[in-house]
Structure 1
Amino acid sequence: MCFVILSFVFLVQALETSNHPDVIQTILNLAEFMDHSERGPLPIAYDRLGKSAEETKAYAKALRYKELQIHKHLNRGGNGLTTEDCQALITYANKLNVQEEAAGVVRYAEQHEMVIPMLGRWYEKLNEWEKALEAYMADLEPLSDEMIGHQMRCLEALGRWGELNERARSVQHKDQKVAVMAARGAWAVGEWEAMKDYVSQVNENTQDGAMLRAVLAVKNDQYDVAINYIDKVRDMYDSELTAMASESYERAYGAMVCVQQLAELEEAIEFKIRPERQARIALLWSRRLQGCRQNIEQWQRLLMLRQAAAIVFIRICQTNLWLRSLVLTPQEMHPLRVKFSSLCRKHGKHLMCRDVLRELLGLDPGAPLHKAVAPHDKPQLVLALCKQLWMDDYRNEAVRTLEALVNHLDRLPPNHTPEAARLCAKACLKLGEWTGVLAESTPMTIGGVSSSGSHRSLFGGSISDEQSATEQVIRHYARSTEYDRDWHKAWHKLASAYFTALSRDKELSQAAAAAAVRAPHTRLIHPTPPPPILPQQQLGMIPPVGATGQSAQVTTPLMPVPVNTTVPLLPVSALPPPGAPPCPIVQLIPPQLSPMPLHSTSLVTPPPPVVPVNIGYAVSAVKCFTRALQLAPGSRLEDTLRLLQLWFDYGEYNEVYKQLSENMKGLPIETWLEVRTASYVMMLSKMILKAVPQLMARLDSRDRMASLIKQVILEISKMKPQALVYALTVAAKSTNIDRQKNAQEMLAAMAEMHPKLVEEASMVSEELVRCAILWHEQWHDALDEASRQYFQTYYCELSDAYKFCQAFKRTENVKELTQAWEIYCQVFKKITTQLRQLTSLDLNYISPMLMKAKDLELAVPGTYDPSQPVVGIASIGTHLQVISSKQRPRKMTIRGDLSF
């Protein structure tokens, strides 16, 4: 025991005095192991272990020991977290890139109104640079060099280099961190002499010092010096990157970006000394940046390196004019800068995004963007500007600017490159989205009363503003598909617009019926909006189903064309027969438009009118959803479910049915078999076929709907029979006659192509039912039901008999019915007792056929994935476990033939 205690003392001394990270890391691993051991934990304080973990940059362990220390303090009756505890938790969470935990700690401090002396530091760790800068600027303490350093850190992260350089010049005594930030600020604006002065104040044996000196050496064509500094920085990152990569990829990513900067510095040297490699290196830089994680700070540093290199390369271009177009000039960096502004906008850094856009537009700092003149010769920049104006709530200006851009693009020659076509399509798509949003946010005025929502255009005699907006949205989406016919998003948006219009008409119809019931003396007008009509030159064309985007022939108009509907737009009175005397013109006016009598003592209420279905929208929606499903790069679930809804809601119309029949054959089989994988706590996966249950639910349909469902099921059964065989086998035993008949017909057709599979599915289904409920369980349920029926039927008679029995106790005559009932009760009690004792079943006795089933072609239930090999049933476990619950379900083991 003395030896053990002495060992613990030595362990504590080693943690406090050792300078070797490997030794400290070994002791920390021992402490973590002892926490899970019976003899643990080690008698070492959590704060000591946490400090040692922080010294070796094992921040995950440091965070764990800090949480254990706080938990121990709270268990002893502590008053909650202190400011120091919150600071430590935020620091560790920031080191581990767990921003959610750090944000939660800040929220906890705000709720408990904690006094935070340096709130800006907390926001810094959350990467909330704007809030941190505001906190520092609002500090009432005298402005010190330390405070200026914090402000410079925020300005550097925000990319506000002018303000950063001003503060750098105001610092009297620059420490290492301030000098590094000042050097980066001078680097960003191209002040090389100032950068040289700042770099001289940084220790060259640090990572930043050596890195900045390497940049200056490349700028001054001192390649050997630059290579030495690059190797020096790489050696410094070696041990750090190895330690971080062993913990997680997230922690090592920042160091990997710095190593990437070193590699690009070497490529910059190669660019200058090897002209034949310039084009390849320039292309490599662009693609590499596109592959980087969308982190603002890391993109900013990489762009600084490219910008510095670009300024150096201009001088070479002056002596090599023929290479000028191949050099990464600032003009060639324009798309990357636009991409960077979009990255800032998506991450909520709107101030930084505005600064980048002002720089690209050539505006003064602080100039309003909504008054800027959009350069239509740079459509990417104009699109980014419009998106930022929309985010800044200058929505009308954004829409007008984007409309001007689209009109400008329309006037250009039609021979667009793929990149230009995609850009035009994006502009039209965004214009359609914004038009729809503005239409939803604009209230309608009906009869002097402001109305909003989906029912605001219910009353009136003309096409509503909402319908006009719908036409504009559809028109913009249609133009997007014209520019890029192979873009899935454009087709999806256009199809969704048609679908939304149909849903709106359905809501209007329901609201019209409800309004007619509430106000029976009100005559309503229910106009059906006609399909939008475009000029002939702007009508888009949908390629045939199944055709590729490049070779598809244009045959079908994109916009919905007028078709014959089964319901007229306005019901009119019957025309007089030929030869009849002329009748007043008023009699030919539809009832909805006839004037109300001025002096009428009674009103005849007509039946509630029905808003007719716009079949043109339904047909166009089917076409566009089909095209979107053909082009979908990933999940097709949303489009598939909406297409099914159109099918089931409007499939009885001739035009829709005809379109569906033509398009179903061109859809990929995967459309109906999309699989979504959901991860659970035990890392299990559950495969769920989404569209198949929708088809099975409509198997009881009749006439044309059933024939179309059969057509789809037959197509699936040819290629993927495993996806349907279980569902069809169950449906074939349904109590619904139509469902049963259709399922049996489908199984018979499938048996012609896959006889063994259908036979195995039928056998497994029947035997699983046999295993699910045994005979004596069926007897138990039948007796239970019989007893309920008996008491419900004969309760009154038994009550009367009981009264007579009370009067004739002397006779003690036992009735035959009583004897029979006692026997039933005894049997019922015996079966109940037997069921309670039944915990497992032997498959050999309850289902010998499943016991003999080996190496089936049938897939294991619930495992079928169309994109993976079929996992067949190799064998079934010999014992079934009965779960103790009311329904008494069974747990069966099925072994698949999947080899590992």
Structure 2
Amino acid sequence: MKQKYKQGRVERDWMESYDRAQDGVLKLQQLVEMEEIIEIKQFENKVQKAAQENVGEYSYIKLLDELEIRKKKLKDIWHDRLSGAPKDIDVWYRLLSTRQLYLPKVHDLDIWIKFAKLCLKRQKMVLCKSTIEILKEQFQNQGQAPLPVTLHIFNMQFEYVHAKHEIQILDQVREYFTNQEQISSIDSKLKAKTFFTLGKWAYERAESTSDLEQITKQFDESLQYNSTYAKAWHYYGLCNFEVIEQQENRQSMNAHVFAAVKGFLKSISLGSRDIKKGRYILQDTLRLLSLIFKYGMEAAISDEFRQNYKQIDVIAWIDVIPQILARIQIQNPIIQQLLQDLLIHISRIHPQALIYPLTVACKSKNQIKRLQVLKILDDMKKHSPILVNEALIISEELNRTAILLKEAWREGIQEAWTSFSQDKNKTHVERILRGLHDNMRVKLESLSEISFHQTYGQEIFEAEAWLQRYLRTEDQVCLCVAFDIYTRIYHKVQKSLEKMKKVHLENVSPKLLATQNCEISIPGLYKPNKQLITINGFAPRLDVLSSKQHPRQVKMFGNDSKEYHFLLKGHEDLRQDERVMQLFSLVNRLLTNDTETERKDLTITRYSVIPLSHNTGLLGWVQNCDTLQQLVREYRDKYAIRPNAESTLMEQFCSQYQNLPLPNKVEIYRHILENTRGEDLQKVLWIKSPNSEVWLERRINYTRSLATMSMVGYILGLGDRHPSNFMLQRLTGKIVHIDFGDCFEVAMKREKYPERVPFRLTRMLVKAMEACGIEGVYRHTCNVVMRVLRENKESLLAVLDSFVYDPLLTWRLLNAQDHKPKKEARNVDLHKQIPQQMINQLNDKEINQGKSLIQVIPEAKRRGSIIDDGKQQQTLKRKESGREKEIYFEFADEEREIPDDLQNQKGLEVIERIKKKLQGRDFKEHEVLSTESQQLIMKNIAQAYLGWCPFW
């Protein structure tokens, strides 16, 4: 029968798809296990028959031993099969029901308790309760039910009762364990788990500092029975950590700081040895570091850390290297030394993990940080000299390749003009232009740099002379002449860059081309305890992408004979993207640990992010992906649909849409939605799928991945979600997000064209879902993901807290109101030197036609940017804002410490906002999405800048 079933339905379904064959495979497994039950029953009958026939004692004992061996072997096989089965209630119930024919519940207690826990997690309370009741009944003849069963009964009651009964149940549990005589005879590990469970339940309901202090004692009692209990150490540290945040008495706080540091050190140490215990490693490591940054100067704290940090597996520290390096310039010498010793310890065991971050940090403009990092590099040169030398060369040459001299001048002139025309800040203009002129005096390393000097050198030195004369005399004509020359240079460079399709290493970086057979690993691919993949060489040509910043596609050859592709980006700080990938790693771990989300593969697609300096870096190339912008354009070109159909309809009403009042914007927005279908993405998914089954799978993957990132992006406050920052994987249909420069709702708070929506869910995205739109897979996935995020809010807050208080990232939270530049003696307001009317009336079109600044000033008729390339409104990048640039140079570029009061104020605001989201207090309780709310959503989308593609 089993063979016929296999050759029939199962093999037929298997040829079509695994999902379709899954039910048949499950039935086949049930048939196999029924055969196994029959076989062992027959062997038991044989043993009984042998006993009745009075065979020899030796033969009978031999048969009994063989029976026990068969029973144990069968039980182990069944356990192995179940551990490989999906954690689905229906699957487990069907398999366990079959096994009951031979194995009673009391003889397979651990498995049935796991099943009851699974029901509890899935909120199948009736099935959970009935399972537990059956276990209790079967133990009635033997007296008291075992402790694991009793514990689970209390757990079930505690998780799903009304809040007012929680304390009552907790008291019942304590009374039960106090009165039980058998407690003294229970295994110490089970005792530890019992007290840990009590402490955890109490912790989840704690309301005050005094409650937390009492709960800490519960975890302490658990640790007395089992000092290697990683979870108990984690909660012991966490309770003390939360007491510190609420404590005002400095003397009593020191005791809690020491206890928290000790708890986290033990938790990380035990978790790093065993992957099953390592659920909280990242969170605990970040919390531990935050305590060291604040209280590491205390002798007891520094001694405890110094004595125990080497007991932790170095792999645990690798994930937090960015946070350590971000604070290595901390003022206190004791903390400085602790961090330096820790980094040297990491570098001696895993130098490959630390080398790329160190090459970035050694270029820091903060003198303390640079000196600390150079000390670490000097120590590394003793044991890995070739590795350090290769890293410094590769980092320097990739920086040179990412931003050519002509690109640096184009960007610099544009920034200087923006700061001059909009913010009237002489100091900032002078800083930018001086930096560009200083670069012209650096030793020439490539043909590209020699060519630039020969082509533009004379004009640049002439402009510098006029700039110096202006700085001495403050004569407005001198500045006009200087900017006239800069403008000519800008337009020549711009035309040259528009023609640039490829970059040849022999022209821009001969050293990089000559770098071969290295010891250093491929960036982002180093994994401890796995095969080391090193760089064998670089492809001689780099393709240049057509976007505004002209990123390049770099190909590296590994020693495993494979090609590795990266995107080399210039003019962009990737340090925040690196931290966001760290957060996604934690979220993926949380989603994988949850049975419901793990089964649906709700993980976020990540990629390597390797900063090379404060404005360059490498991004891992995500294979087989296209941006939504690209997919829609290709679809419209193929089917002769106007690529800018929405813009054409908009211009029929008004060419200056962005300048209209909100009611007019909404009217035009509604008209465009009514006269265009917005089905482009839906059609793309269907056309690119080979058959309907693949299309259905991709559509589900698309919807689930979009929902997952919608919730994570909402918590993170992720902005700038235009179609070029969404990518679609061709084979799976999953959505991949890129560019994480706007986090913590900074896009919502910017002055021009703020993004008023918490995440992008425009009609084109909705129409690509199933027939019911968001009321199906999308809504269910959002609910499930948000549940997981809220259940693990403390873990998320640990990572996000390290973001917010990171001095390299906090500058992004600042705005013009938060920070005012210090007045300097030479900071003369430029609008007093050059008449405002002249600046306000600059005509960018005339300048772009080749006229000079001096020619244009008298005949200008409207305000504009002297060097606007016509795409500024569409791209609206963060660094385009002159005010934001000043903040960037003031803090991020110079790597200065942000004043504590300002940093704490902004940090607290962001963390409180995130807490509200994770606690579900962002909106009013039981708020229904009414017609008025729908109108508000439409208003919010209509306000977005046109480059965000609100009509899509």
Give the structure-2-normalised TM-score.
0.46
- Rg larger in structure: 1
Select the structure with the greater relative contact order (CA < 8 A; seq sep ≥ 6).
Answer: 2
Normalising by structure 1, report the TM-score: 0.49
